[in-house]
Amino acid sequence: MSSIITRVKQKQIAQLIAKGKRLDDRELTDYREIKLEQGIIERAEGSARVLLGKTEVMVGTKIETGEPFPDTPNEGVLTVNAELVPLASSTFEPGPPDENSIELARIVDRGIRESKAIDTEKLCIELGKKVFVVFVDVYVLNHDGNLIDASALAAIAALLNTKMPNYEVEEGEVKLKSGYTPLPMKKCPITVTFAKINDKLIIDPCLEEEQVMDARISIAIDDDGNICAIQKGGSGYFTQEQVLEAAEIAKEKAEEMRKKLNW
Amino acid sequence: MSQKTEKLIDKKGLRLDGRKPDELRPIKIEVGVLSNADGSAYIEQGKNKILAAVFGPKELHPKHLALQDRMVLRCRYHMAPFSVQERKSPAPSRREIELSKVIRESLEPAIFLEYYPRTGIDIFLEVLQADGGTRCASITAASLALADAGIPMRDLVAACAAGKADDTIVLDLMDTEDKIGTADVPVALMPNLNAITLLQMDGILTLEEFKKAVNMAIEGCKKIYALQKEALKLKYVSVKEEAEE
């Protein structure tokens, strides 16, 4: 925020937005071009790559067996992790996950978990003892803003592409059989992120817009148009009217985005 | 969710602890409770017991974190190992790291950070006992601790959650409602500016239910705001009495 270049940019971006325009000629509620590929990593049980303008995120899923949580003995386990890989931006450093990557992973996690996207009861192998664990690993490969929407979209695309190993239980031992079945999915949540710049809401901020924004809000919407997760971020604020406006726009946008997934 | 059979709202429309849907839990707030901190506050909200302490503005360590045009706010939300049913490891969990970030971002808009360039403030939040809604109670206490430390602020930040238990939108969820209810919407507000500084949600709500929940949470924040101001004034009554003795 404090660099002179971003301050000059801030003025320019704010002036454009006041006229309903943006740096890259988008409308305030337009996404950048979205490219989506599924099944790109053969070794992973499921995978997807999303290009959101120049932002690039890859997600791979792996499935292992493990123990269920004691409070949900009949359900499989979902684990989401996000890596801000150093090659994606000069601001990403190697090392244990920082608060930004933890927040990103938890926003993606919440969208999938709260919408009940995965039919976790079908991932139970032996009640209270053995279940399938679905690992969703978000890999940010190029950072040009709005990592949240790109990651959430790539994660759900990878899950829709995930194959579960066939198995049979013999005397308490899980034996894998040949062949795969698709991961049981019930819902397809979509996350839509807004940035607030100069008291105006814009969708899908690019990096330059993120650097000058006051605050952001991400809203996950399920297939029925219900809200299933929200996260406000950044050191600014929203008014109640802005929050409700964002929720309504998110509902429309999510429906458009969902069509890209052939769900 | 194995405990789906348990009812959160009885036939009379009352909740497990006898509250009406839009009723807050009993709240006790005290300001200036720690002598070593520059500002501090203690809050009890239901069974939640939380201490907040503020140190600063002071020189930042390590120094390279300092910013030339404003103060740096750092925040650590932490739960004591004995604060929950099963012992929580004292190492910071991913949840605590995320909450530290969103709590910091809920307080930043309230502070005139540009008044103290090249300095930093540390806010420490210790949850001694947790009963649902700890992030909101932490924000309520932290903003009082900041005020107690004499940090210039645009407004106090009051926070409160609303959510959905059974089919009813309810205010200020306690632990059980939080765990088996169907949605949770924590909100932090600067009441005088109508500015929402924290907003999260998990669960499932229709747009209409969400509007209702946000409205209810905001009304809850306003009630807590009144209690905050009362607690802040109370501290200076005792200071005045001491001075007169």
Tens of pLDDT, residue by residue over A236-257, are 999 999 999 999 999 999 999 9
- List chain A residues with CB under 8 Å of B64: none
Nearest-Å Rg of the Cα atoms of chain A is 20
Residues written for chain A:
263
Distances A249 to A46, A199, A201 between C-alpha atoms, Å: 30, 16, 10
Contacts of B61 (CB under 8 A, 6+ apart): none
Encoded tokens for B227 = 């209690």
A170 pLDDT higher than 90: no
Give the mutation candidate from B85, B93, B96, B98 for the A interface (greatest A CB count, under 10 A): B98
Cα–Cα distance measured from residue A143 to residue B167, given in angstroms and rounded to the nearest whole number: 41
Q: What is the mean pLDDT of chain B?
A: 94
Q: Which of B160, B158, B163, B159 is nearest to B176 (CA)?
A: B163
Cβ contacts of B232-241, under 8 Å, gap ≥ 24: B232/B31, B232/B144, B232/B147, B232/B148, B232/B156, B234/B31, B235/B30, B235/B31, B235/B32, B235/B148
Beta-carbon separation of B190 and A237 below 8 A: yes
Output the pLDDT for position A93.
Answer: 92
Average pLDDT score over residue span A222-245? 97
Q: What is the CATH number of domain B27-237?
A: 3.30.230.70
Task: Name the pLDDT band for B1 (thresholds 50, 70, 90).
Answer: very low
Encoded tokens for A233 = 């971020």
In chain A the domains, ranked by start, together with CATH numbers, are 23-261 (3.30.230.70)
Give residue ranges of B with CB < 8 Å to any A CB.
1-2, 67-70, 94-95, 97-98, 100-102, 104-105, 108-109, 185, 190, 193-207, 210-211, 214-215, 218
A168 pLDDT higher than 90: no
The pTM score is 0.92
Peptide bond into B57 cis (omega under 30): yes
**Reported ipTM exceeds the 0.95 cut:** no
- On whether the CB atoms of residues B171 and B22 are closer than 8 A, the answer is yes
B93 pLDDT higher than 70: yes
Output the pLDDT for position B2.
Answer: 42
Beta-carbon separation of A232 and B194 below 8 A: no
Beta-carbon separation of A247 and B207 below 8 A: yes
- List chain A residues with CB under 8 Å of B67: 2
**Extents of the domains making up chain B:** 27-237
- List chain A residues with CB under 8 Å of B98: 99, 102-103, 106
- Residue A42, burial from CB neighbour count under 10 angstroms (0-12, 13-18, 19+): exposed
Cα–Cα distance measured from residue B79 to residue B71, given in angstroms and rounded to the nearest whole number: 26
- List chain A residues with CB under 8 Å of B94: 97, 102, 105-106
Cα–Cα distance measured from residue B196 to residue B169, given in angstroms and rounded to the nearest whole number: 19
Angle ∠(B95,B98,B99) on CA atoms, nearest 5: 85
Beta-carbon separation of B196 and A74 below 8 A: no
Average pLDDT score over residue span B114-142? 97
Contacts of B36 (CB under 8 A, 6+ apart): none
SS3 B98: helix
- List chain A residues with CB under 8 Å of B214: 240, 243-244
Q: How far is A111 from chain B (nearest CA, A)?
A: 8
- List chain B residues with CB under 8 Å of A95: none
Cα–Cα distance measured from residue B202 to residue B215, given in angstroms and rounded to the nearest whole number: 17
Determine phi and psi for B58, rounding to 5 degrees.
-150, 170
Over the stretch B157-202, which tens digit does the pLDDT of each residue have? 999 999 999 999 999 999 999 998 999 999 999 999 999 999 999 9
Distances A157 to A116, A144, A151, A210, B191 between C-alpha atoms, Å: 15, 20, 10, 25, 41
Beta-carbon separation of A232 and B102 below 8 A: yes
Give the mutation candidate from A99, A239, A240 for the B interface (greatest B CB count, under 10 A): A240
Give the mutation candidate from A116, A218, A227 for the B interface (greatest B CB count, under 10 A): A227
The H-or-E segment that residue B196 falls in is strand B195-205
- List chain A residues with CB under 8 Å of B206: 225-227
Over the stretch A8-37, which tens digit does the pLDDT of each residue have? 888 899 999 999 999 999 999 999 999 999
Output the pLDDT for position A3.
Answer: 63
